[in-house]
DNA sequence: CGTACTTTTGAATCGCATCAAATCTGGTGG
DNA sequence: CCACCAGATTTGATGCGATTCAAAAGTACG
């Protein structure tokens, strides 16, 4: 990122549950998480919350740079430190700084791939398959470290929290999984 | 798009069911659909096919420009005409042609928003809600024109085709929907 | 210590997937 | 033109798994 842009960053602090922006708000800044966690969410008619993005470091709602108004709400999931970059200078920097632009494009492409994986996961219709898919695609070497409660993980997996708890313990009983605090490790199918 | 790049396009024709590229293939070209339909798909262990992108005009697998290998398969869903752009010149054009670059960035951002909508839809756990959501977010003025069989629409909605058929006729019987060939119109809740 | 939230288990219900089979459709070739 | 075939569409019956409602136990925090 060019220094001239970095110099324009305004530090922000948000407490747990605090709203960063709402659907319909004009997009005036691009937010970058320094520390903590922010989430992009939408609520459906029943009041169920769908988590669309979870960011613990780096930008959030990157695609909003392209639209006049936000399409989702953003909230802080923990006490969070952010940087706020005004859109105008941000767009100029993308125009004029090739390295910055290139990394921004990679960021968007990564987000697309991540969302495709998420769609693939939500298309699986058993809880066990979604869990395995998540460990495979988001974990490292078969080990997934959770940075959230299981309840909110359940929401991310499109499951009720009860279903997640039950499936996790069933999979562990079947030897398909080892749960150790926030470390979830998948076990390969045992040879007979 | 700059003329110099357009001049490098190689026309291609693909028949229904023909594979355009497979997971793991090196990314050498960017494909653009001129006419017909191409799909990005992945198959899970049970042989179920998940549709990750459906394109009837414009680029497909845009995010692959950023990776050395494809992460999905691409197939033609009908007889399709495509253009093939070599990656190298394509990347140069993105560097050097600001207008082209800007529209490419918008394309990626749109794709991100579309995928978020798709995730939101798949998080709904009733068939009726997914259908309504799809009409609302992909239709125009409450009318959705299907450019595919209902069977493959069902796959896109993460439903079995039987569930889709049954839910469509139930919703129509309840007056929530009007089905007219490939036109699906949502009806607002009736005042009593 | 009390409060709010997560985690965990139980029981009942409902909707979707699945398997099966019949009908309808468009396209091909005789 | 008709027979035929592959695929889509439609309806039926069944079972399973997830949701839902309920409640208890655990946990973090002020």
DSSP per-residue letters across A132-191: HHHHHHHSBTTEEE--S-HHHHHHHTTS-HHHHHHHHHHHHHTTSEEEETTEEEE-PPPP
Q: What is the side-by-side strand order in the sheet with A10-14?
A: A10-14, A80-86, A29-35, A58-60
Is A162 near strand C, with its CB below 7 A from some atom of it?
Answer: yes
Q: In angstroms, what CA-CA distances link A106 with A32, A38, A74, A93?
A: 16, 21, 22, 16
Taking the Cβ of residue B50 and every Cβ of chain A, the question of whether any pair is shorter than 8 Å is answered with yes
**Cβ-defined contact of B110 to A66 (cutoff 8 Å):** yes
The residues with which A3 forms a beta bridge, in sequence order, are none
Q: What is the pLDDT of residue B189?
A: 59
Q: How far is the CA of B188 from the C1' of D12 (A)?
A: 31
DSSP letter at B48? Answer: P
Q: In angstroms, what CA-CA distances link A156 with A49, A148, B85, B154?
A: 9, 10, 37, 22
Residues of B whose CB is below 8 A from A124: 44
Residues of B whose CB is below 8 A from A94: 105
Strands (E), B61-146: 73-76, 80-86, 143-145
Per-residue tokens: B123: 């998080």
Smallest CA–CA separation between A125 and chain B, in Å? 8
CB atoms within 10 A of CB A49: 16
Quote the mean pLDDT of chain A. Answer: 92
Per DSSP, the three-state class of A6 is: helix
Per DSSP, the three-state class of B114 is: helix
Mean pLDDT over B153-157 rounds to 95
Taking the Cβ of residue A105 and every Cβ of chain B, the question of whether any pair is shorter than 8 Å is answered with yes
Smallest CA–CA separation between B107 and chain A, in Å? 10
Tell me which long-range contacts A138-142 makes (C-beta under 8 A, separation of at least 24): A139/A184, A139/A186, A142/A185, A142/A186, A142/A187, A142/A188
Q: Which of residues 82-121 of B touch strand C (CB under 7 A)?
A: none
∠ CA B166-B40-B17, rounded to 5°: 80
Selected for mutation to probe chain A from B51, B54, B122, B128 (highest A CB count within 10 Å) is B122
Taking the Cβ of residue B111 and every Cβ of chain A, the question of whether any pair is shorter than 8 Å is answered with yes
Residues of A whose CB is below 8 A from B118: 115, 119
CB under 8 Å to A162, separation ≥6 — which residues?
none
Which phi and psi (to 5°) does residue B33 adopt?
-85, 125
Residues of B whose CB is below 8 A from A97: none
pTM of the model: 0.92
A58-117: pLDDT as tens digits: 999 999 999 999 999 999 999 999 999 999 999 999 999 999 999 999 999 999 999 999
Q: How far is the CA of A95 from the C1' of C16 (A)?
A: 50
Q: What is the pLDDT of residue A119?
A: 96
Selected for mutation to probe chain B from A30, A39, A63, A114 (highest B CB count within 10 Å) is A63
Q: What is the pLDDT of residue B124?
A: 94
Helical pair B87-96 and B98-123, crossing angle rounded to 10 deg = 110
CB-CB contact of A59 with A81 (8 Å): no
Smallest CA–CA separation between B109 and chain A, in Å? 5
**Cβ-defined contact of A109 to B71 (cutoff 8 Å):** no
* A152 CA: nearest nucleotide by C1': C6
Per-residue tokens: A51: 């988590």
Per-residue tokens: B161: 């085709």
B34-91: pLDDT as tens digits: 999 999 999 877 778 899 999 999 999 999 999 999 999 999 998 999 999 999 999 9
Q: What is the pLDDT of residue B43?
A: 84
Rounded CA-CA distance B132/B177 in Å is 9
């Amino acid at each position: 990122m060019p220094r001239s842009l970095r110099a324009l960053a305004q530090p922000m602090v948000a407490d747990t549950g605090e709203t960063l922006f709402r659907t319909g708000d004009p997009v005036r800044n691009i937010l970058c998480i320094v520390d903590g966690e922010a989430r992009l969410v939408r609520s459906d008619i029943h009041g169920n919350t769908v988590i669309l993005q979870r960011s613990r470091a780096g930008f959030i709602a990157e695609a909003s740079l392209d639209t006049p108004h936000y399409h989702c709400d953003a909230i802080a999931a923990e006490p969070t430190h952010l940087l706020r970059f005004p859109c105008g200078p941000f767009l100029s920097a993308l125009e004029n700084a090739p390295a910055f632009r290139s990394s921004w494009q990679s960021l968007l492409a990564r987000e697309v791939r991540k969302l495709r994986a998420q769609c693939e996961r939500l298309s699986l219709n058993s809880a066990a398959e979604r869990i395995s898919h998540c460990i495979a695609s988001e974990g490292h070497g078969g080990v997934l470290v959770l940075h959230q409660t299981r309840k909110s993980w359940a929401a991310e997996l499109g499951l009720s929290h009860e279903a997640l708890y039950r499936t996790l313990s069933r999979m562990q009983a079947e030897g398909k999984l080892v749960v150790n605090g926030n470390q979830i490790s998948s076990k390969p199918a045992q040879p007979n």
